Amino acid sequence: MHLSRFSRVQLAHLPTPLEFLENLSRTLGGPNIYIKRDDCTGLATGGNKTRKLEFLIADALDKGADIVITQGAVQSNHARQTVAAALKYGMACEILLENRTESSEHDYLESGNVFLDKLFGARVTHFPKNTDMDQEMEARAEELRSEGKNPYVIPGGGSNEIGALGYVDCALETLTQANDMGLRIDHFVTATGSAGTQAGLVVGLEATHSQIPLLGIGVRAPKQEQEEKVYHLACKTAEYMGIPGVVDRDKVIADSNYVGGGYGVPSDSMVEAVTLMAREEAILMDPVYSGKGLAGLIDYIRNGRFEENQNIVFLHTGGSAALFGYLDAFKLA
């Protein structure tokens, strides 16, 4: 397994810190909680898509692209990081946003990530919930080709076998840090959506025989569907890397009990988790992914699902810019 065999550009501040959360661990009274700070990847307020984009943008450049197209929900962190990455490498960027939450609130539609998308100069188009976004991207790419452009289409979340390489790398990076610190990791926990993060991590953790179990907290699809999606992408990623078969199906575990009312819809446990992390550790989570992922971790700890002497690593996937699209969810005085 040698990631330097793949084209890659430099976008992220790496390695991201791996830190002990002393206050939160004490307050919850369970295992030792460590946090892998992929909110600190540095590009345009950071987040997990930046690692994926190091490989995706390189592939776009290899293919001679002059414009990048991608899609996401209105408050997509992926769209924001893609816009920033494309412009750094001299490509234009168009993003297609689906109003998956059907919100009509000004903050949601204009602030947070949407404000940054526009600040970076992206062409932004909006679509109603349940639009076939892949088809819309393809139609737009066709239009651009007919104008003599060479578009590169990045799937939602940057989740294909190229983007997932970024999280194979994150697994290796975290293992090296843990080894250097003398930290025995008993469990790895991450939010999981379009699946590239969990798929890359599971490939990295399994290919190195780390014996570290990985738990994905789902933010959209039901458990079975999410696990299948992650497993499928993990298999494709391993094949792409030339190490087929390194991931067994039973190593892909997702828990979708913390989705609440749906993708991007605020839940009480998310608000509690985001507020707790802010007030215990002064770390900003996000309302759509890491906040719900943390809500899952907190619930597991309260239910005694980890031992007190265990060390848990929670991957902070970023997204704090989206907080400003969700002011009303927090009912702060």
In the complex, the smallest distance separating the C-beta of residue 308 from ligand PLP, rounded to whole angstroms, is: 28
Write the single-letter amino acid at 266: P
In the complex, the smallest distance separating the C-beta of residue 314 from ligand PLP, rounded to whole angstroms, is: 12
Q: Are the CB atoms for 314 and 33 separated by under 8 Å?
A: yes
**Residues in a beta bridge with 215:** 189, 253
In the complex, the smallest distance separating the C-beta of residue 156 from ligand PLP, rounded to whole angstroms, is: 8
Interface with ligand PLP (CB under 6 A): 47-48, 77-78, 157, 159, 191-198, 286, 289-290, 317-319
Q: How many CB atoms lie within 10 A of CB 225?
A: 13
CB nearer ligand PLP, residue 144 or residue 316? 316
Q: Is the peptide bond before 15 cis (omega within 30 degrees of 0)?
A: yes
Q: Are the CB atoms for 277 and 294 separated by under 8 Å?
A: yes
In the complex, the smallest distance separating the C-beta of residue 117 from ligand PLP, rounded to whole angstroms, is: 14
Element (H, E) at 206: helix 196-207
Helix, strand, coil % over all residues of the chain, rounded to 5: 50, 15, 35
Residue 85, CB-side half-sphere exposure with 13 Å CA sphere: 35
Give dist(CA 228, CA 205) in Å, integer: 18
CB nearer ligand PLP, residue 177 or residue 194? 194
Catalytic residue among 25, 76, 103, 320: 76
Give dist(CA 314, CA 190) in Å, integer: 6
CB nearer ligand PLP, residue 31 or residue 112? 112
Quick one: tokens of 4?
Answer: 């330097």
Q: Tell me, yes or no, if 210 is annotated catalytic.
A: no
In the complex, the smallest distance separating the C-beta of residue 190 from ligand PLP, rounded to whole angstroms, is: 7
Residues assigned a catalytic role: 76
